[in-house]
Chain A
């Protein structure tokens, strides 16, 4: 029984809670200073600054900065931008609502960073509806211009 209890306890220690980024942002006080696991899409830019660096993870609604060793961050190959789906990154680390090291900002100090799933570059397909609309509106502008010139030449729009 004692061994079983110790195993359970051990399990609790090595398995920190998995928390959504939005929950970290909205219920930040509950997780202050705790080791958590979270997952999100790497977005924007990979900001490597010597030994350590930053990446921002997003869950679509909220985003958070992750501070981690640059070597771990270098695994990230795709960063979410227009027509790019960023790598889904799983982070284990300490969450800070107001980080004492980084002047009170909300962040995660990662102890481990892993790629949960690789991102991809989306091939942009020309939208036929948009193409038609833009051509029609460009034509409308040309016709309006010609109409204005015609009216002015006919004397209707001339300043007298």
Chain B
């Protein structure tokens, strides 16, 4: 029997959405400050408009405080899911007013891509975009990568007994520290330490590349936010190709690779347990899937007539696969070059995108932990077939600690795996229906649903609106690992059929 949502449930959902809306308005003070710093007058006005809308909505939604502070799991999932749609719409206001987007739908696409750390972009004339708008695009990566709700838990919401429901609602289920608020704060501590280190290193490299001091810092901050949160936006239209630099490639590679590692593993390594990096099923699977996808891609690339030598193919192939695998989407080739890669190389990239990084990281997609569990499940099944009938097979996995692999773990991993495969193919079917070929459609669909950001050239302002909406939904559903969509359906069913 379903329980019909009560008036109080709506009040709880509205109240926390209001808090998140107001929090987003406060965050817009950052690009507003940058607008004043770079003397960008009209962009500053657009951010004041954005702040005005966000705060007004925040105030209206929070005028009635809920009687209970407890948040049920279904409400937590709903708050997290809807808050991202709300954040998409509010973040899009200043961008749309900038005049760099053909329609409001395009600016919604941009902010959903930013928040979900995808990195597909529909910005027109990016090279002339004001610093403040550009920074805001990258801040959306930062907000989304860290988690809108994680930020709210860490800074804005105090003493919520249902904090875990909100945390789980945002597709995070690992408690690194005993309570989720402490966990959220730890995630921020790790991020801020790497933010300082990464920005300093990228600034030094930028200066050595010949970029002026102010611009070097600006590029460094933007690229760090996009890299660490495995986003993919860049301040210039040519992505990482803009810098023409191996050292910039290496630095960004280290940043996005660290961003794709489980925050739990960061915690253990910070506490001196470095061996965990090699023992954990997640990192072992990561190494295996990277090796396989790099091999497939390189096998395809060496057959192409483009690359004059093997080191060139290796540099391009390795960076692109890792950028895809971690869900970053930084590109060192043009979309046009990508479209001329052979099927084998593209399949390598698609597989890397489809798998994704680690759980409880900033990466999206199926995740290596689930791949590892499914593989172990197959292995256990094989052993069971080979064993005598009375035999019992116990398969262990090591994820922070040794545990016995259970049927429920395999079933959960398998379910999400199948759901992602369905999502990838559903998006590519829409692409094919819009007139694109199958493999490019699959490539772009996986890139959107796995929150990667690589493009083969389909993502453009000229693509049909139905495809833009499809990709927006794919990015949203993919980022939440289907929690939001399950929660929304559950809530609607309870509302319609509940008692």
Query: Which A residues fall within an 8 A CB radius of B?
Result: 25-26, 28-29, 43-49, 53-54, 56, 58, 60, 62-63, 65, 67, 80-84, 97-98, 100, 102-107, 124, 126-127, 130-131, 133-134, 136-141, 143-145, 147-148, 151-152, 156-160
Contacts and interface: CB of A to CB of B under 8 A. Distances in A.
Decide if the interface of chain A is mainly helix, strand, loop or mixed: mixed
B311 interface: yes
Given A81-B128, A98-B312, A100-B308, A137 B62 contact: no
Interface string B119-134: 0000001011111000
B336 interface: yes
A45 B45 contact: no
> Which of A26, A104, A131 is the most central at the interface, judged by chain B CB atoms within 10 Å of its CB?
A104
Nearest to A46: B210
A130 B49 CA distance: 8
Contact of B244 (A48, A54, A145, A157): A54
Given A60-B125, A106-B337, 15 more contacts: A43-B127, A43-B128, A46-B210, A63-B242, A82-B131, A98-B308, A103-B246, A103-B311, A124-B41, A126-B42, A131-B45, A145-B55, A147-B60, A148-B62, A159-B65
Contacts of A148: 59-60, 62-63
B49 A160 contact: no
What is the interface residue range for chain B against chain A? Answer: 35 or more
A158 B127 contact: no
Contact of B45 (A44, A56, A130, A151): A130
Contacts of A126: 41-42
Contact of A141 (B40, B43, B46, B59): B59
B496 to A, nearest CB: 29
Interface in B163-203: none
Interface string B286-325: 0000000000000000000011110111011000000000
A98 B42 contact: no
B56 A48 contact: no
Contacts of A144: 55-60
Nearest to A81: B128
A126 B58 CA distance: 29
Nearest to B301: A104
Contacts of B337: 28, 97-98, 106
B56 A140 contact: yes
Contact of B236 (A43, A106, A151, A158): A43
Contact of A137 (B52, B58, B211, B306): B52
Contacts of B39: 124
Contacts of B340: 29
B313 A53 contact: no
B55 A65 contact: no
Interface in B210-249: 210-212, 215, 236-238, 241-244, 246
Contact of A56 (B65, B236, B315): B236
Contact of A134 (B52, B212, B246, B306): B52
B158 to A, nearest CB: 14
B66 interface: yes
B52 A141 contact: yes
Contacts of B405: none
A137 B56 contact: yes
B124 to A, nearest CB: 9
B64 A151 contact: yes
Contacts of B41: 124, 126
10 nearest A-B residue pairs (beta carbon)? A137-B52, A100-B308, A104-B312, A47-B210, A144-B59, A98-B306, A141-B55, A134-B48, A82-B130, A43-B127
Contacts of B332: 105
A134 B49 contact: yes
Given A141-B52, A157-B65, A104 B127 contact: no
B131 A25 contact: no
B244 A28 contact: no
A103 B333 CA distance: 11
A105 to B, nearest CB: 6
A138 B316 CA distance: 48
B306 A104 contact: yes
A137 B236 CA distance: 31
Nearest to B48: A134
Given A26-B336, A107-B244, A137-B56, A82 B63 contact: no
Contacts of B307: 98, 104
B97 interface: yes
Nearest to B68: A159
Contacts of A60: 125
B51 interface: yes
A36 B53 CA distance: 51
B48 A103 contact: no
18 contacts: A43-B127, A43-B128, A48-B210, A56-B127, A82-B130, A97-B337, A102-B244, A104-B312, A104-B316, A107-B244, A130-B45, A137-B48, A138-B49, A141-B51, A145-B55, A147-B59, A157-B63, A157-B65
